[in-house]
Amino acid sequence: MNKEDIGITISKKEDFSEWYTQVVLKAKLADYAPVKGLIVLRPDGYSIWESLRNTFDKKFSKNGVRNGFLPVLIPESLLGKEQKHFAGFNPEVFWVTHSGENEVGDRLALRPTSETLAYTLYSKWIQSWRDLPLKINFWNTALRAEIKATKPFLRTSEFLWQEGHTVHTTKEEAEEEVLKILDIYKKTVEEELAIPVTTGKKSEKEKFVGAAYTTTMESIMPDGKALQMGTSHFLGQNFSKPFEVKFADKDNIEHFAWQTSWGISWRLIGAMIMTHGDDQGLVLPPKVAPIQVVIVPIYKNEESKNKVMTKSQEILDKLELQNIRTHVDDRDELSPGYKFNDWELKGIPIRIEIGPKDIEKQTIVVATRYNREKTNLGFDEITKIPDILEKIQHNMLEAAKIQAEKNTKEITDYSEFKSNIEKGGFFKSPWCGKIECEEKIKEETSADIRVIPFDSEDSSRKCIYCQEQSISMPIFARGY
């Protein structure tokens, strides 16, 4: 028997990291590539990514964003036009130095991010206020040298993501765009992946290199580590000036444009695995599940097989008419018990079991994956399946919210902070706003400011580190 056919062999609480890797591999979402730091996305994993992509595309389109394509190679001389931004990525850049046997001359970077390339082109495409706003999104890959501490979906040297780059005539319009995108991210992650997020700003120290400021959404994972789920940056004119992204206004007076950039990556899939998975394997939210309902026919001989398979096909047809992604497991060489375990490992939201006795009673057995409960439904009640899926989606989000709340604490005493940080979690603590305190906390505890939630201003307390007056209650945590 192939190793990947064996179920999860370690509990989530016992060894979270090993459990996570086993789920990724054994649920057949991804596999390791021959090159260290890279993974291969298998069909079920890619299907989840496609589902997210389709949802984001619809929402981006309603916001006036269109998709484009950018090449993966960026000349070093081009990156050098924005030194501060490029310096932040320099240690992670892969370089192409040869074409065949010949040196290329100007080294070519394998895209760590696309600001410099996109804005060189934007400076050509934008002439007048009539060309704005310009809103383009790129679905592509990025490459960053994550060789030492790789983990599928969370830290890999190449990853799938989308990066949006918009250009506006006014600061106000660009800042409004930043928040619109962040809201799209938040709603999609909560509604599709059933993962609660906290939104706000990054500190000056943690913001995206080159941004005026960065807004972010953060989640706390079951092991107590924070995960950045997506960012939306207000770039101001920090890129438009070096790249000469300018426009002539209605009076033909030239101005530098105002810009934003924003992105999410396939680490959302990693967050979904960690948030919902259990000791049996993957648990998929119905909205992104490649298969929402699997039908497992149970029979002992050819006569019963024909009856059960015929009824299984009828049920599949009815469910597909309701736009439910359904599959009949007709593998003869495997026992029903093996199939049950296999589909539980893969996290399929609903399993329908049907055998000769069920047909006699005009019922089916419905097993829900997220809570492992079984109920009976009459043949005439199959129309209830969409409602059951909706309930599962809702309940998974509510369970994740409870889990996040348990992992979130308000701590104002630094000694208590240090003693609790080892256990993990989100810590809401008062902060004076000084980078010196932020750096000292990071140095002494390995925790950083993950997000300064919107409306978290607080001047009624003392900074947890220096005891001077606080300005806000950011969330500190150790992260992935």
User: Whole-angstrom Cα distance, residue 260 to residue 255?
Assistant: 16
In the chain, CATH 3.40.50.800 sits at 293-388
Cβ neighbors of 108 (< 8 A, separation 6 or more) are 73, 74, 75, 76, 95, 96, 97
What CATH topology corresponds to 3-276?
BirA Bifunctional Protein; domain 2 (3.30.930)
Phi/psi-derived region of residue 224, left when phi > 0, alpha when psi is between -120 and 50, beta in every other case: left
In the chain, CATH 3.30.110.30 sits at 408-477
- The structure tokens listed for 39 are 């993974």
With beta carbons less than 8 A apart as the criterion, state whether 261 and 115 touch: yes
Across-strand partners of 469?
462
Other residues' Cβ atoms within 10 Å of the Cβ of residue 410: 10
Q: What is the CATH number of domain 293-388?
A: 3.40.50.800
In the chain, CATH 3.30.930.10 sits at 3-276
Q: Which CATH class is domain 408-477?
A: alpha beta
Residue type, 178: V
Residue 133: cis peptide before it, omega within 30 degrees of 0:
yes
Task: Give the global pTM.
Answer: 0.94
Sign of the C-alpha dihedral, residues 107, 110, 114, 115?
negative
With CA atoms as reference, report the closest residue to 144 among 155, 134, 132, 153: 155
**Res 87: pLDDT:** 64
User: Whole-angstrom Cα distance, residue 291 to residue 93?
Assistant: 38
- The structure tokens listed for 396 are 């998974």
**Res 91: pLDDT:** 74
Sign of the C-alpha dihedral, residues 94, 98, 100, 101?
negative
**Res 468: pLDDT:** 96
SS3 string, the chain, reads: CCHHHCCCCCCCCCCHHHHHHHHHHHCCCEEECCCCCCEEECHHHHHHHHHHHHHHHHHHHHCCCEEECCCCEEEHHHHHHHHHHHHHHHHHCEEEEEECCEEEEEEEEECCCCHHHHHHHHHHHCCEHHHCCEEEEEEEEEECCCCCCCECCCECCEEEEEEEEEEECCHHHHHHHHHHHHHHHHHHHHHHCCCCCEEEECCCCCCCCCCCEEEEEEEECCCCCEEEEEEEEEEECCCCCCCCCEEECCCCCEEECEEEEEEEECHHHHHHHHHHCECCECCCCCCCCCCCEEEEECCCCHHHHHHHHHHHHHHHHHHHHCCCCEEECCCCCCCHHHHHHHHHHHCCCEEEEECHHHHHHCEEEEEECCCCEEEEEEHHHHHHHHHHHHHHHHHHHHHHHHHHHHCEEECCCHHHHHHHHCCCCEEECCECCCHHHHHHHHHHHCCEEEEEECCCECCCCECCCCCCECCECCEEECEC
| CA 455 remoteness from chain centre | 25
Across-strand partners of 103?
98
- Give the CA-trace dihedral at 122, 128, 132, 138, to 10 degrees: -20
Q: pLDDT by residue for the chain (480 residues), tens digit each?
A: 454 557 999 999 999 999 999 999 999 999 999 999 999 999 999 999 999 999 999 999 999 999 999 999 999 888 877 666 556 566 789 999 999 989 888 899 999 989 999 999 999 999 999 999 999 999 999 999 876 678 999 999 999 999 999 999 999 999 999 999 999 999 999 999 999 999 999 999 999 988 999 999 999 999 999 999 999 999 999 999 999 999 999 999 999 999 999 999 999 999 999 999 999 999 999 999 999 999 999 998 988 999 999 999 999 999 999 999 999 999 999 999 999 999 999 999 999 999 999 999 999 999 999 999 999 999 999 999 999 999 999 999 999 999 999 999 999 999 999 999 999 999 999 999 999 999 999 999 999 999 999 999 999 999 999 999 999 999 999 999
User: Whole-angstrom Cα distance, residue 116 to residue 106?
Assistant: 15
**Res 79: pLDDT:** 80
User: Whole-angstrom Cα distance, residue 7 to residue 281?
Assistant: 8
**Res 1: pLDDT:** 43
**Res 86: pLDDT:** 58
With beta carbons less than 8 A apart as the criterion, state whether 114 and 165 touch: yes
**Res 106: pLDDT:** 87
Sign of the C-alpha dihedral, residues 340, 342, 347, 351?
negative
- The structure tokens listed for 442 are 């990071």
